[in-house]
Amino acid sequence: MMRNDWQRWICYLSLVLSLLLMLLPLPVALLPLRPWWPALVLIYWVLEAPDRVGLGTAFITGLAADVLAGALLGDQALRLVIIVFLAQRFRARLRFFPVVQQSAAVLLLLLNDSLLRWLIRAFAGLPMLPLLTWAAPLVGAALWPFVFLLLDALRARSRTRES
């Protein structure tokens, strides 16, 4: 029981940290390249611990991200739910890919998200984002191996700590 509680804390603390990383100030020139940290962390947990993270967690994380970013309420929630749904759908395959191949899959998930983000902004009548924002999925895919290895090390450490 203790082990499950500790691993659950690691999962939720990593999600909170991903929300805080969203708020990290960057130079104006780099803002469009900001990776979407909550999506990366949720993808990891869906692949490695699907019993802890699901559509509900994605929705709540997305609402928190919307509130923190001052974005259209429900925008990031919808996008995260779709990413998590797709990751759950292809989990059996993605989980056993090498990390580099997982990066390609993460790139596709994040590009799909960018398209959805563009559609939401178009239908909401919001101004379009700069074209450079389409490079943010590339940054996220490039960071995926590091995110994966860091979270995997934390998860492994929590397992050995409780043993």
pTM of the model: 0.93
| pLDDT score recorded for residue 1 | 47
Q: What is the pLDDT of residues 12-70, one digit of tens each?
A: 999 999 999 999 999 999 999 999 999 999 999 999 999 989 999 999 999 999 999 99
- Tell me the one-letter amino acid at 125: G
Distance CA(124)–CA(48), nearest Å, equals 35
CB 151 within 8 A of CB 18: no
Please list, in sequence order, all residues whose beta carbon lies within 8 angstroms of the beta carbon of residue 95, skipping any fewer than 6 positions away.
47, 48
- pLDDT at 4 exceeding the cut of 90: no
Please indicate whether residue 15 or residue 129 has the higher confidence score (pLDDT).
Answer: 15
**Average pLDDT, rounded, for the chain:** 93
Residue 156 has pLDDT above 90, yes or no: no
Q: Are 102 and 110 in contact (CB under 8 A)?
A: no
Predicted local confidence at residue 6, as pLDDT:
79
* pLDDT per residue as tens digits for the range 76-90: 999 999 999 999 999
Residue 163 has pLDDT above 60, yes or no: no
Amino acid at the residue 111: L
Give the count of alpha carbons within 13 A of 139, CB side only.
Answer: 15
Does residue 115 have a pLDDT over 70?
yes
